[in-house]
Amino acid sequence: MPADTRLAAHDERAAHVKALALAAGFDLVGIASAEPPDSLSHFGDWIAAGYSGEMAYLAGQVERRRDLRVAFPWARSVICVALEYDSSPPYSTAAPLDRGWISRYAWGDDYHEVVGVRLRRLRASLLAELGPHESRAYVDTGPIVERAYAVAAGVGFWGKNGCVIDLEHGSWLFLGEIVTDLHLTPDTPLPGRCGRCTACLDACPTRALVAPYVLDARRCISYLTIEQRGAIPEPFRQALGRHVFGCDVCQDVCPWNRRRRHRGPSSFEPRPGLFAPALAELAALDVQAFRQRFRRSGIVRAKRRGLLRNVAVALGNVSVAGGTVPLDRLASDSEPLIAQQARDALQRISEGT
């Protein structure tokens, strides 16, 4: 088959794949080559700098994540998809003083399930339409630096806050991908659109964005409230404010999110009690109540010990009527981490710090 004919066939097949992705329920889709994007050449340096913190699964998979073909030698293309999840306009600063802040991505159903259902639907369509082929589908679970491939696929451009940003959907995006042995024409990456804006760097409470496009996870509130397993380091406790699970600040202030034109599906609408929940109410959760309240929610990742540790820090950061009552309860919790964090918060309150 002449080269021009093969190229045209690949182009046509890529267009068909994209149509199937949109039909499966995704907002955005693009195709990247399985060859590692140029941005991944810095991944090893980022790990070496210690910016991954306690996330040992990243440090232990440098070669696999720098080039996905190490894990999937048969891979030729990566189908990258995105689904918007933000469904409500309020910002964390609008929450009442006695309320905690849960990141938008965890307000609704677990994104692994919601995006996973769509990916399985797409994968089944690809097999039915294009015949047998090798593929793997992932939603934030495989040895793949999702953002790097999404940017390479033209799904969005790489923002200074480290997020993938689309001009119409902003950065409130869940990413997924299908690694395949299909020959598909790759898309062209989009040019950056951050310009001189440094809103995300300036607004970060812990200065986790140490440079444009460079995140020190060890300072990031999302990392500290979810990935950090021990006590919250003292230098960052006050900066956590009322964040009890994740952080939206660098996306809240992004001009592209203020201009977005779409909303996420109903699956991501806030469940009762997940938008700005009362800190005292969270502090009263026992193991069974925690499991029941956050069943099929992304918050289970932090476990009760992690969430209530964060609640103790948040209670220590706010001054409200009866604020020490839930802390007194947490200070005698059977989980040592929670009890210690609550005692530290009570001490800070008594010292006026």
Spot the catalytic one: 4, 140, 166, 286.
Answer: 140
Q: Backbone phi, then psi, for 132, in 5-degree steps?
A: -60, 135
Please give the structure tokens belonging to residue 307.
Answer: 């969430």
- Which SS3 state, helix, strand or coil, does residue 79 take? strand
- Which SS3 state, helix, strand or coil, does residue 44 take? helix
CA distance 29 to 167: 14
| 115 class by beta-carbon count within 10 Å (0-12 exposed, 13-18 middle, 19+ buried) | buried
- Which SS3 state, helix, strand or coil, does residue 254 take? coil
Return the bridge partners of 176, or none. 81
- Which SS3 state, helix, strand or coil, does residue 101 take? strand
Place of tokens 């965890």: 106
Q: Are 112 and 132 in contact (CB under 8 A)?
A: no
Q: Are 59 and 52 in contact (CB under 8 A)?
A: yes
Please give the structure tokens belonging to residue 53.
Answer: 């913190």
Q: What is the largest CA-CA distance in the chain?
A: 79
Percent helix, percent strand, percent coil in the chain, to nearest 5: 45, 10, 40
CA distance 118 to 24: 6
CA distance 147 to 39: 10
Asked if 140 is an active-site residue, the reply is: yes
Place of tokens 């925690």: 290
Active centre residues (catalytic) = 140
